[in-house]
Amino acid sequence: MPKATLLAACARHCGIPARIGLADVRNHLSTPRLLALLKSDVFAMHGYTELYLNGRWVKATPAFNQQLCEVFDVPPLEFDGLHDSVFHAFNRQGQRSMEYVVDHGQFADVPEAFFFGHIRQCYPHLFGDDAPTLLGDMQGDLSRG
């Protein structure tokens, strides 16, 4: 979500109309630690960006860097400004990779109340007094394993 917001801000700075899209995605290639933390294989409120180019909205998904693509054996997403660039459904081995479950739509800015309300609904265990400490990152988990 932060990368999608940053891409939208950079595009707007360059005079390109941009908006944020939010979707719940099922990640079939996650780390065990992240699956245990979320208690779900659905990642709520995945962010993507839509850019208004050549008279139409085009999706761009700035989520995985080159290293994560290599670890998960998925090709990096290409963006040509003409076609939507969304997660690959399968990795190079034919295994399910990412699956869009629910598209919540597009927004001029991050709809904070909706965003956090949905996150709380999907992962209530992350918001209590006994919520787990959130340290590390997916790439760090994979490099240790």
CB atoms within 10 A of CB 23: 19
Across 11-39, average pLDDT: 90
Both tokens of residue 28?
A: 């079939």
Q: Tell me how far CA of residue 71 lies from CA of 14, 22, 44, 91, 140, in angstroms.
A: 33, 25, 22, 11, 11
Given a cut of 90, whether residue 51 has pLDDT beyond it is: yes
Q: pTM of the entire structure?
A: 0.81
Q: Residue ranges of the domains in the chain?
A: 2-144
What does the pLDDT look like over 68-105, one tens digit per residue? 777 777 777 888 999 988 877 677 777 777 788 999 99
CA dist., res. 114 & res. 104, Å (int): 10
**What percentage of the chain's residues is helix, strand, coil (to nearest 5)?**
30, 30, 40
Range in 53-57, 68-72, 110-114 with the lowest mean pLDDT: 68-72
Given a cut of 70, whether residue 126 has pLDDT beyond it is: yes
At 77, the amino acid letter reads L
